[in-house]
Structure 1
Amino acid sequence: MFKDYARLTVFFCCVLIGVQIPGVLKFYQQRVEAHLSEAQQALGGFEQTAQRHFDGDIQALVAHYRRSPDPVFQQDADSVAAIVERVDLLRQEWDAMQGGQIAQLWHFLGFADTRLREETLDSYRYQVLLTPTAIGWGLAVALILSVLAELLVKLVMPKRRSRRFA
């Protein structure tokens, strides 16, 4: 009986882990979107300058700033290049999070920007979502983790043979 309750407890805990997945993925998407919007806004004025003077080529603007004899422009070149790099990174993150949920989870776990992932997990507040997607994730994760836990227990504690005394 205790074994059955332990299994149910493991299963239930796995469900609770699984129902977090859609919320975490959505929260990460929102964080990426907010950072991207902010970075694009910071780049906006430079893009307008690049549009007016360099046919929209932001890299030509950065190169022009680097070649300037004015040290202020040279330093600004590094700042503009950093913003451009940040916008590119965030666009890649945004694109990666536009696929299906399994692709999103795969990206989030293995390929997401480390700083953004850590920010997301640090500020995420656990919640029990009762949407069909969250329930599906919960049951799928519970089934997979419960089977893995059962296999682990069987590997660690092989079934003992009972000895009968005659």
Structure 2
Amino acid sequence: MFRSYLRLLLFTFGLLAGIQVPGLVKDYSQRVEAHLLESRQALSGFQETATRFFKGDLQALLRHYRSSDDPVFNSDANSIESLMIRNQLLETEWQALQGSWVSRSWHVLAQPDPQLREETLKGYSYQILLVPEAIGWGIGAGFLLAFVVESLLLVIGWVALGGRRRSVKESWR
């Protein structure tokens, strides 16, 4: 009886944890999109200058600033370069989040940008989404957790008994 309750408890815990995955992916995606829009806006003035004087090539604008003897231009070159690096990182993250829900989930769980992941986790509030992905994640995680823990406990019990099975007493009524 205890084993049945333990199995139900593990399944429920896994279900609730699994349901969180799509919400976390959604929050991470929204955070990436917001930062990307902000990054594009920060670069827009420099992009206009590059379009006007360097046929749209931001790298040429950056080289022009770096070749100047003026320390103000050199300082601006560092600022432009850091904006460009940040924008490229966010564009790469955004592209990684444009695939199927499986690839998005894998990216967020296994390969997210550490800073964006930390921001997302700090601002994340637990939620229960009733969408097919959340239900699938919940049932899968619940089953997997219950199966793995029960199997592990059975193996530990088998080892503790020295590989012997307990005899089952038959009841004849």
Q: TM-score, normalised by structure 2?
A: 0.90
What is the Cα deviation at residue 133 of structure 1?
2.1
Deviations 1:85-134 (A, max 9, x none): 11110010001011112211221122211000111111100011122221
Return 5+ residue gaps in structure 1 as ranges.
none
What is the Cα deviation at residue 76 of structure 1?
0.6
The aligned residue for residue 65 of structure 1 is 65
Identity among equivalent pairs (%): 48
Q: Return the alpha-carbon distance in structure 2 between the equivalents of residues 162 and 140 of structure 1.
A: 32
Q: TM-score, normalised by structure 1?
A: 0.93
The aligned residue for residue 107 of structure 1 is 107
The aligned residue for residue 19 of structure 1 is 19
Larger Rg belongs to: 2
Residues 97, 18 of structure 1: alpha-carbon distance in 2 compared, 3 angstrom cutoff? same
The aligned residue for residue 40 of structure 1 is 40
Q: Return the alpha-carbon distance in structure 1 between the equivalents of residues 157 and 50 of structure 2.
A: 68
Q: Return the alpha-carbon distance in structure 2 between the equivalents of residues 145 and 101 of structure 1.
A: 22
Return 5+ residue gaps in structure 2 as ranges.
169-173
Q: Return the alpha-carbon distance in structure 1 between the equivalents of residues 108 and 167 of structure 2.
A: 51
Q: Return the alpha-carbon distance in structure 1 between the equivalents of residues 67 and 17 of structure 2.
A: 54
Pairing 1:162–2:153 present: no
Q: Return the alpha-carbon distance in structure 2 between the equivalents of residues 101 and 81 of structure 1.
A: 33
What is the Cα deviation at residue 156 of structure 1?
2.1
- Give secondary structure in 2 for the equivalent of 1:19: helix
Deviations 1:124-165 (A, max 9, x none): 00011122221111011111222221222122222743379x
The aligned residue for residue 123 of structure 1 is 123
Letter in 2 for 1:135: I
Q: Return the alpha-carbon distance in structure 1 between the equivalents of residues 24 and 95 of structure 2.
A: 17
Q: After the TM superposition, which segments of 4 or more aligned residues of structure 1 sit over 6 Å from their partners?
A: none
Pairing 1:77–2:77 present: yes
The aligned residue for residue 54 of structure 2 is 54
